[in-house]
Homo-oligomer: A and B are copies of this chain.
Amino acid sequence: MNKIVIIGTGNVGTNLAVAFANCGIAPVQIISRNKENAQKLAEKINCPNYSYKLADLIEADFYFLCTNDNAIQHLAESTELHGKTVIHTSGSTSIDVLRKNRKKYGVFYPLQTFNKHKIIDFDEIPVCIEGSDSEIEQELKFLAEKISDNVHLVNSEQRLKLHIAAVFVNNFVNHLFAIANEIIERENLQANMLEQLIKKTLENAIGQNPKEIQTGPARRNDTETIAKHLTILKSISEKYADIYKVLSDSIISLYKN
C-alpha cells in the first residue's frame, strides 16, 4: 500500500518526496513537466524512475499531485490518471475536484511554508488528511504518520480556513517585515535592528493568546501617536498608510467592547 508517485517537483513535491524517502517509503516515480527537475529530484532520493510525460506513469497506490492549485483539476481529469488514486496537497482546493473518473481520492495538506532548496524536517509539521472514504483516510493517515507526529483529519472547508489563517501568519507577516525593513532602510538604519523585536514577537506568540498580549498605540487607542505615524507613512507610501490604518482600526474595534 506504499507505492507513491510524486507529480510536481516544486517546493511541496520536493520536500514531500524527500520526507517519504527518509522514512523508507521512497517514491517509485517522479514526474515533472520539466525533465531536468524530474531527474534532479529522482537522483536526490535515489528513485530510478522519472519522466516529464504523464504517458510514462507507472502503476502505484497513490499519485500525489504537488502542482499549482490551478493545474490540479486538469491533471486529475487527464486520461493517464483515469481511475487512479489521486491525492492533492493544496490548502484551498476542495477534494471534490478529484471526484471525476475515480472512486478513491484524497488530500494530504502539510501546513507549512516550503522551499525546494531548503529541505525541512516533517516531524512536527501538521499534515491535514481528507479522503473520499474512511478507508483511504486511514491509508493516508498511516502514510502521514510515517513522516509526522502531527496528523489531523480535516475537511475541505476547514482546510480552506486553515489556508487563510496560514496566509495571515506567513505571507502577510512576511510582508509586514518587508515594509518595516523598507521604512528603516530609508533612514540608513540597519534592518537587523528589528531582529530582537521579531524574535520576541514570535516567542510571545507561542503558547500565549495573541489577543491577550496585544500592545501598541492602537491597543491603547493612542490617537495622537497613530496620527503622527500616519502622517509619516503617507509621505512614504499611501499603501503602507492604508495598511497601518486598517490594522489599527481592527485592533481598536477588537478591544472597544
Contacts and interface: CB of A to CB of B under 8 A. Distances in A.
Contacts of A246: 239, 242-243, 246
Given A177-B205, A201-B202, A202-B201, A171 B250 contact: no
Given A232-B164, A247-B172, A196 B69 contact: no
A186 to B, nearest CB: 7
A198 B193 contact: no
Nearest to A155: B187
Given A170-B201, A171-B214, A111 B165 contact: no
Given A157-B187, A201-B170, A229 B164 contact: yes
B200 A206 contact: no
A250 B196 contact: no
B169 A210 contact: no
A213 interface: yes
Interface residues of A, number: 88
A186 B195 CA distance: 32
Nearest to A184: B165
Nearest to A228: B92
B229 A92 contact: yes
A249 interface: yes
B183 A125 contact: no
Max chain B Cβ within 10 angstroms of own Cβ: one of A69, A171, A219: A171
Contacts of A216: 167, 170-171
Interface string A208-243: 011101111111101011001100110000011011
Given A196-B111, A249-B239, A183 B170 contact: no
A23 to B, nearest CB: 18
A218 to B, nearest CB: 7
Contact of A69 (B179, B211, B225): B225
Given A169-B194, A178-B254, A154 B199 contact: no
